[in-house]
Amino acid sequence: MSTLLFSENKDPDILLVNNKKKNKIENELEEIYKEATPDLPLSKSLYLLVNVHGKVFDKAVQTIRQSNKLELSLKLSESPTIKALLSIEKYFETNPTHFNHVYEPLKEKILKVNHPQHEASMRILGYFLLYSNTFQAMARDFIYQQIASDNKRDQLSSIVLLRFLYTHYIKSSSEEHLDFISHFMPIIVQVTEKYSESATLLSCSACELSLIYCWYLYNQFSQEGFRNDKKAIIMEIEEETKEKGTMENVIKQTNKLINIIRKWHKTKDELSEVAYDELSQLISSISNEPDATHAFQLITTYLTPKSVLSEKPLTMKKLKSIVSFKCKW
């Protein structure tokens, strides 16, 4: 036994090597843990995300949505985009009322259509509005308040953002974002009405988005079986909210928008007035028959602020596209 002890003490280099290996393993584990922790500063996260290609960003969002916590911890070290998004979520954990810390640096980029980070800025905000399980409600409430405010730049940037999200991430045939559209549609219509005296960029943008939202909701409510599938849910909703989610209210809001567009129409004549009267009657009596659905989408696609504000006659190409219009589901 004494010989063994003596031989171990005689060669201290072995202990030194073992300690070095142990330290190396500990350092490697510490590095892995560091890479797997979403701890990027907010400014660095935003800088990284506004410079990420759209496809890379969308793939990262898809990965986050499809992965559990363990899988995400492994993928954090592989994807800086995922790490940046989750770092922002971690920032919100300690600053739950500070969504403006993300929104404000991106707002001006949203308002400048030609800004190189225009779309990337909206994708970042869109992640929290559409997909963040923890902070979705906070993001939606913040954007809602921006639209409800009297600051026209805040209203316009939020409306531009919502239009982008609809175009790129929301399908009219899918009910995945029904609650999202239902939440914002009434306030967007209110903004349209508020500034309807003149056709400005804000009022026209709000009107166009309102028409798109009305079409989405109409399409959802007119689908066979919708009322039965949602009956139990609708029964639990408060009266004020329930009115927002009915076919009757969608028709009512659409008629408001058509009357505003009628007021803006530049080249109205007697025939146009008759056409608007008939259009209003059609909308008021519209049902959920396939032909009515086709007519509703045709109206919301072509009767837009841009089309009625133009004094130029329709081109032959545009006329043909209207005549050959097919309903998209």
What's the average model confidence in pLDDT over 109-128?
Answer: 97
Is the pLDDT score of 271 beyond 50? yes
**pLDDT at res. 300:** 76
Does residue 111 belong to any structural domain of this protein? yes
Does residue 46 belong to any structural domain of this protein? yes
Q: What spatial distance separates the first Cα and last Cα of the chain, rounded to whole Å?
A: 84
Calculate what percentage of the chain has a pLDDT beyond 90: 49
Which of the given ranges, 14-28, 107-121, 212-226, has the highest pLDDT on average? Answer: 107-121
- Give the number of domains in the chain: 1
Does residue 266 belong to any structural domain of this protein? no
**pLDDT at res. 284:** 78
**pLDDT at res. 29:** 44
Does residue 139 belong to any structural domain of this protein? yes
Does residue 128 belong to any structural domain of this protein? yes
3-state per-residue secondary structure call for the chain: CHHHHHHHHHCHHHHHHHHHHHHHHHHHHHHHHHHCCCCCCHHHHHHHHHCCCHHHHHHHHHHHHHCCHHHHHHHCCCCHHHHHHHHHHHHHHHCCCCCHHHHHHHHHHHHCCCCCCHHHHHHHHHHHHHHCCCCHHHHHHHHHHHHHCCCHHHHHHHHHHHHHHHHHHCCCCCCCCHHHHHHHHHHHHHHHHHCCCCCCHHHHHHHHHHHHHHHHHHHHHHCCCHHHHHHHHHHHCCHHHHHHCCHHHHHHHHHHHHHHHHHHCCCCCHHHHHHHHHHHHHHHCCCCCHHHHHHHHHHHHHCCHHHHHCCCCCCHHHHHHHHCCCCCC
**pLDDT at res. 237:** 39
Domain interval for residue 144: 34-151
**pLDDT at res. 35:** 54
Digit-coded pLDDT (tens) for 299-310: 777 788 888 887
Confidence tier at 13 by pLDDT (50, 70, 90): low
Does residue 269 belong to any structural domain of this protein? no
Does residue 89 belong to any structural domain of this protein? yes
What's the average model confidence in pLDDT over 40-63?
Answer: 96
What's the average model confidence in pLDDT over 173-180?
Answer: 90
pTM of the model: 0.80
Does residue 59 belong to any structural domain of this protein? yes
Is the pLDDT score of 76 beyond 60? yes
What's the average model confidence in pLDDT over 55-83?
Answer: 92
